[in-house]
Amino acid sequence: MIKPQVIAHRGSSAAYPENSWAAFEAAVAKGADVIECDVQGTRDGVLVIRHDLRIGNRLIAECSVAEIEALEPGLVRLAELLAWAPRANIGLLVEIKDPDIAMSVGAMAAASPWSERIVVGSFHGPALAAMKVRTRAVKTSLMLGSVLVAQDMVRLAFAYHADGVHPCWESRSPHPHRLLDTAAIGFLHGAGLAVTLWHEERAGELRALVALGPDAICTNEPALLREIVDMAATGRGAERLVALE
């Protein structure tokens, strides 16, 4: 059985402000293997960690980094996060929010001594494909919003030269784990693709996702998923797993 990596979605974001140092440091403390974060570019070309495309009524891409930091002290820059991750011994899943910055993100990831522990993800397949041409060694993950059969996921991943797929189906069903099965995961693995599953916080759903055998699962509650993954791997603690529900 595959032991999925625990990916802290925007850090330990259930308890701390998302994409913040507090959330990232808590994710490490709570046993995450990887931190997922969102990256955008400012008007003056600085790559910053932020999810929302706007700050007030302005686009992040229209603001200087100084203007953003004046409104949001503690803003994390991608360069800072790349320098910190090796010291914290944590992997990174970096989601590109704006396809225009794909080349810059790819270049920074490729130049990092931590590049083996960095995956770049995006819903924008052409941006990932263009980045991959320039930085072949950087691993990429194609994010998918629509529910697709495994064969279509493979087709799209191959078309955009992605190393993995990341279906983001947390809002597509009351019980989204039923949108996939072990056969689909096996088909994706057979095609050589890593499989990362959407973010989920409910214990019962997390248990079901772990049982599917993906490579990684995103969650806002990394401590909870860490406990579930470790218990499943050892085969012990069934009573505790039931209690978590």
Domain regions of the chain by residue span: 5-244
Q: Using the predicted structure, report yes or no on whether residue 238 has a pLDDT greater than 70.
A: no
What span, in angstroms and rounded, lies between the C-alpha atoms of 41 and 127? 14
Mean pLDDT rounded to a whole number for the chain: 95
217-230 burial string, b = 16+ CB within 10 Å, else e?
A: bbbbbbbbbbbbbe
CATH number for the segment(s) 5-244:
3.20.20.190
Look at phi and psi of residue 74 and say left if phi exceeds 0, alpha if psi is from -120 to 50, else beta.
Answer: left
pLDDT attached to residue 235: 78
Task: State mean pLDDT over 23-44.
Answer: 98
For residue 72 the two structure tokens come to: 């949001």
Q: Contact, 60 vs 50, CB < 8 A?
A: yes
pTM of the predicted model as reported, rounded to 2 decimal places: 0.94
Q: What is the largest CA-CA distance in the chain?
A: 54
Predicted confidence (pLDDT) per residue in 47-71, tens digit = 999 999 999 999 999 999 999 999 9
